[in-house]
Amino acid sequence: MSITVGFRLSPEANGAMANQLKMAEVQAILALARGGWSNRHIARHLGVHRETVGRHLRAVGFASALLPQDNSKPASAPIGSGGAPIGSALAPVGFVSAASAWREVIVQKLEAGLTAQRIYQDLCGDHGYTGSYYSVRRLVKKLTATMPAPFRRMECEPGAEAQVDFGRGAPIVGPDGRRKTTWVFRIVLSHSRKGYAEAVHRQTTDDFLRSLENAFAWFGGVPRTLVIDNLRAAVSRADWFDPELCPKVRSFAEHYGVAVLPTKPYTPRHKGKIERGIGYVKSNALKGRRFASLADQNRHLQTWEATVADTRIHGTTRRQVKEVFEQAEKAALLPMPACRFDLFQEALRSVHRDGHVEIKGAYYSVPPEFLGQRVWARWDGRTVRLLDQKMRPIAMHAQRPPGTFSTLPVHIVPEKISGIERGTAWLLRRIESIGPHATQWAQSMLQNRGIEGVRVLMGLLSLTNKHRRDQIGHACQIAQGHGAYHLRSLRQLIERQNPPAIQQNFEFLQEHTIIRSLDDYGQFVRQAITQAEALPSASSLQESTP
């Protein structure tokens, strides 16, 4: 197959390259470049160096803009199987695939999820296709080739969104020459691009929330959503589908009526406006500067926001930032609440066996059902709020000094409340169940004995555990008549009502079938004595021994 070339080398170029490549190879380089092949693929196909290919193309003035910039490979189908690869030097100009006549059919089958092999089989069996499988495969590959989708720009309605992030600030250099690192909090309203910056020493939750509050006051309102990074000060567990915010941040969001939406982890483009905004502050406001204190840096940032950032013409909106904010976005922000958010300290605390939790050396009671569990405690120097694991309030106390206890009566188990703690009124109501005589005696006893009679009332109730109520009432009636107001008097009167047990005398039986008679025992004794007398004495035995 001949190669037609539309370029002519100058005599100087021919002389300079004659010793390097043959004219046929040079012509092949030009033909392949015209066919859309990259330098890399031409060099690999002809077996020459890539720089050699580029040098020959530059020598004839071949425009580099016409060369493909990607690294795509030529078709991998075997040459000669239903046509050469498209774009190849071996394919004639205007080459058409043998399977292109069935393009619509192939598209329908691709949408049905069929493979190239199955499509080839169906074309041969149902549509009379006589070409090769490789032609079908090349066309399928071309139809299914995907290009990366362009990024989508997300623009927001006024007041709908603000993006938040932290960046490194300018150093603080004290009188002693020591440098301190600072961080710059930055928030940008997504519609107008109006921003607010504040320098802090640390990225704590309190610093984050206070900076947000200052930003809301700077804007004069609150956006409906906050797009934040997964910083530890706000997000306790990063998750694109269901992130978990810190409890204090959730309370802050509820106070201001704003929705906090963390971005997908490791995806900074989800908050591109603030990513560019942080770089703008660092490069424009703070680069090359140092400050004597954090207050000096914040005063500089506020002046820069008002005189530089707000007055600039934004590159995307092509309008002045301050103008867009004043005309469109300021009125769309949510109103500020009546008061600021009360910053507090919080921590998980274990409930002790006595039903209390320890906070800064003092002890506070919780409901008995939380014994042995862990609860959230929040304190701000005035009050202590206790919440369960779902952040539902369970108790509130006035904060007390270290070493003291705060116990709410509703948190005491009824079994652990003594009668003295319940009071005389509760004891008298219990005594009414014994009877009117007991009630009358109890009231008279209290009048005579005063505060010490409270324990006597408890003792009167304890008599019901051993004696009948009618016996206790009768004893109280007698004691009332005699003016006896001691518990021992009642016990004695009750004992007199119970007669002592009658002693029963049992007759001793003289004779029984299993008991021997005394005559039998006397006969045994006489026999034993007779036998003892018949035995020789010890002294006679000694004399008879030689």
pLDDT tens for 205-245 read: 989 999 999 999 999 999 999 998 888 888 888 887 888 88
Instruction: Give start and end residues of each alpha helix (H) in 220-366.
Output: 247-256, 272-280, 294-304, 321-324
What's the mean pLDDT in 34-61? 82
* pLDDT value at residue 273: 74
* Model confidence band, residue 494 (pLDDT cutoffs 50, 70, 90): confident
Is 464 within 8 Å of 450 (Cβ atoms)? no
Nearest to 201 by CA among 186, 221, 223, 185: 185
Is the pLDDT at 14 greater than 50? The verdict is no
C-alpha span between 408 and 510 (Å, rounded): 77
pTM for this model (two decimals): 0.49
Homologous superfamily assigned to 161-332: Ribonuclease H-like superfamily/Ribonuclease H (3.30.420.10)
Report which residue type is found at 170: A
* pLDDT value at residue 254: 92
**Poorest-confidence range of 196-200, 422-426, 431-435, 462-466?**
422-426
pLDDT digits (tens, 9 = 90+) for 506-519: 455 555 566 666 67
Burial annotation 204-225 (CB, 10 A radius, 16+ → b, else e): ebebbbbbbbbbbebbebbbbb
Residue 190 has phi, psi (to 5 degrees) of: -65, -25
Each domain of the chain, given as residue ranges in start order, spans 11-144, 161-332, 345-416, 426-497
The burial class, CB within 10 Å (0-12 / 13-18 / 19+), for 162 is: buried
**Poorest-confidence range of 99-103, 170-174, 217-221, 395-399?**
99-103
Report which residue type is found at 30: L
pLDDT digits (tens, 9 = 90+) for 80-127: 444 444 444 344 444 567 888 888 889 888 888 888 999 999 999 888
C-alpha span between 375 and 444 (Å, rounded): 49
Is 361 within 8 Å of 384 (Cβ atoms)? no
- Enter the tokens of residue 505: 């005398």
Residue showing tokens 């002809």: 46
Quote helix, strand, coil % in the chain, to nearest 5. 45, 15, 40
Is the pLDDT at 447 greater than 80? The verdict is yes
Residue 344 has phi, psi (to 5 degrees) of: -140, 165
Most confident of 57-61, 278-282, 420-424, 527-531: 278-282
Beta bridge partners of residue 364, listed in sequence order:
357, 406
Phi/psi region, residue 360 (left: phi>0; alpha: psi -120 to 50; beta: rest), is left
Is 40 within 8 Å of 50 (Cβ atoms)? yes
Was domain 345-416 assigned CATH 2.40.50?
yes
Is the pLDDT at 15 greater than 60? The verdict is no
C-alpha span between 437 and 439 (Å, rounded): 5
- Enter the tokens of residue 362: 């003092």
Q: What is the percent of the chain where pLDDT is above 70?
A: 78
Beta bridge partners of residue 261, listed in sequence order:
227
Residue showing tokens 């500067």: 289
Residue showing tokens 């859309």: 36
Rounded to the nearest integer, the mean pLDDT of the chain is 80
* Model confidence band, residue 347 (pLDDT cutoffs 50, 70, 90): confident
Q: How far apart, in Å, do the first and last CA atoms of the chain sit?
A: 160
- Which residues are CB-contacts of 361 (< 8 A; sequence separation ≥ 6)? 401, 402, 403
Integer-rounded Cα Rg, in Å, for the chain is 52
C-alpha span between 235 and 435 (Å, rounded): 66
Taking the CA atoms of 440, 443, 445 and 447 in sequence, report the sign of the dihedral they define.
negative
- Which residues are CB-contacts of 229 (< 8 A; sequence separation ≥ 6)? 164, 165, 166, 262, 263, 268, 271
Is the pLDDT at 27 greater than 60? The verdict is yes
Is the pLDDT at 162 greater than 60? The verdict is yes
What's the mean pLDDT in 245-270? 85
* pLDDT value at residue 74: 44
